[in-house]
Amino acid sequence: MSDPHISGETPPEELPRRSSYGQVVAISLALSVLVFSVDALTPQRLVVSILQDVPIALTGLTRKRRLTVAMVLFGILSNILAEAINAHEEGSVSPIAIGNRFFSVISFLLVGYLAIRIQESSLETGRTLSERRRSERDRKIRSLLEELSREGDSRTILARIAPRLRTLFGARGLILAGVNRTQWTDPLLTDPPGLFFWKAGDDLPGALALLGEASLPPQSISKLSLDPLLENNRARGGLLARISTKKATTGEVPDLLLFLLDPEDPEALAILREILPVLEDLLGRLELLRHLEESNRQLLRKNAMIQDLVSGLSHDIRTPLLAQNMNFRLARKGVFGPVPDPLVRILDQAAAANASLLEQANRLLLLTRYELDDPSLEWSQFSLADLLDEAIAEILPLAMDKGVILHRTGEAPVLEGDRVALKRLFLNLLDNALKWSPPQGEIRVFLEERGDNVTVTVSDQGPGVPLEMVPRLFRRFGGLRPGSGFGLGLYLSNQIAALHGGSIRYAPGAPGSLLTVDLPKKRRVLP
């Protein structure tokens, strides 16, 4: 049932050409031999050899220059041999016959030349038509690829490319059917609509069922089990190919079987073999993109849930902590009655623990703001030296309790930034330095102007950061040691610096740690 124009391994366009060539050669040789035989048997005065022009002219249909030259030479030789036979039979050479033979040779050469020119013209015309067909085919392929690159899910894009595929191959009909190991599945597309095909859920015909997931390269429809497809659609033949998208995904998407009914393009099989890998790659990318988009939507939903959870918990935690903090202060002042000395120490410890929890709640809220919400900043111009002095003043009571000395040196011009956010940044750095400073230790804050930037270095005399822990230093929830808390302080500080177009870097001290903040003096437009 296969179409002879698309079956076999031989390129389709070669089949009719070879058949025509053989026929022309046979006819030309037969005519040449016949003309020679008649010429040799007739008197010299009859110019039968002129008929050799006919087989020579026929060679112009073959596009074979060598055949034309061979027939011209055969005509000349047969002309000479026939004259020799005639002269021997008649016992003399006729001058008129010699003249006729000469003009016959001239006609052979002229007809041969014209035949060769016809061949060259035919070849040039063939090349022009071939280039035109190739250009038109390339245009159709580009149009097909443009449809594949447009947005949409796989089924929508398949519906758009089906008519273009059909036009590309000049097919009378096209069918795209999903297939798993044993059954037809969705999607099922036919162009034009209404073509006969099995329904989704029907078992695969015998030959296809035996293949399973084995490779199925483009080929002519020759399986007996597919005869109903051809007969019910009144097709003489067609092409069949598997379009696999599983290699680009997790195997959840079924393969597609492509059926082309009665393609007119003689190179249809070669074209299908050429574009099939491109179709598979692009459809696989589309399915992968769909999978990534779905994963992204799920991540956004989870992100929103986390945002609501963190924000809600932080607010719910802050309210009782603020109330408890107020109660501690009132109790410490004796509002609820005299407070014994042992209870004073307990109240102070409880107030400190409460303040630590409140600070963590505030940091969680800041985390929500800088990472999940819109981290908009309130820009203004201010003195960075004054800001550092304020931060040092706030942390100074805690430093004095521990016996730690705070020093600030250096000056810098006015800075442009979010004053509240930057104060939080430096309070976090100072708090971190104080936390790990030994009693009677020293914390130094050095302010320096460097070109368009300013740098603030905070150094302490603590144990420093183990080398293997340095990569985690600015990570979210990256507490480095037992008792170091959630690890939000340095992470939030790094976020604030990044929002200002700056950065924070760590270096080991001798002893302790050096944390250096680089900030631009003027506001930068961030991407």
pTM recorded for the entire structure: 0.44
**pLDDT tier at 16, thresholds 50, 70, 90:** very low
Tell me the range of 111-125, 316-330, 476-490 where mean pLDDT is highest: 111-125
DSSP strand pairing (442-450 vs 405-409): parallel
List 260's β-bridge partners, or say none. Answer: 174, 239
Tell whether the model's pLDDT for residue 321 goes beyond 50. Answer: yes
Cα–Cα dist 380/116, whole Å: 89
- Measured between alpha carbons, how far is 56 from 58 in angstroms, rounded to an integer? 5
pLDDT in tens, 193-211: 889 888 888 888 877 777 6
The DSSP line for 92-138 is S--HHHHHHHHHHHHHHHHHHHHHHHHHHHHHHHHHHHHHHHHHHHH
What are the structural domains, with CATH classification, of the chain? 14-145 (no CATH), 150-278 (3.30.450.40), 377-520 (3.30.565.10)
Q: Is the peptide bond before 228 cis (omega within 30 degrees of 0)?
A: no
Distance CA 429, CA 458 (A): 7
pLDDT, tens digit (0-9, with 9 covering 90-100), for 47-64: 788 888 888 888 888 878
With tokens 């992470």, the residue in question is 491
Nearest residue to 390 via CA among 419, 418, 366: 419
Starting at the edge strand found earlier in the chain, the sheet holding 238-243 runs 184-191, 173-179, 255-261, 238-243, 219-220
Mean per-residue pLDDT of the chain: 79
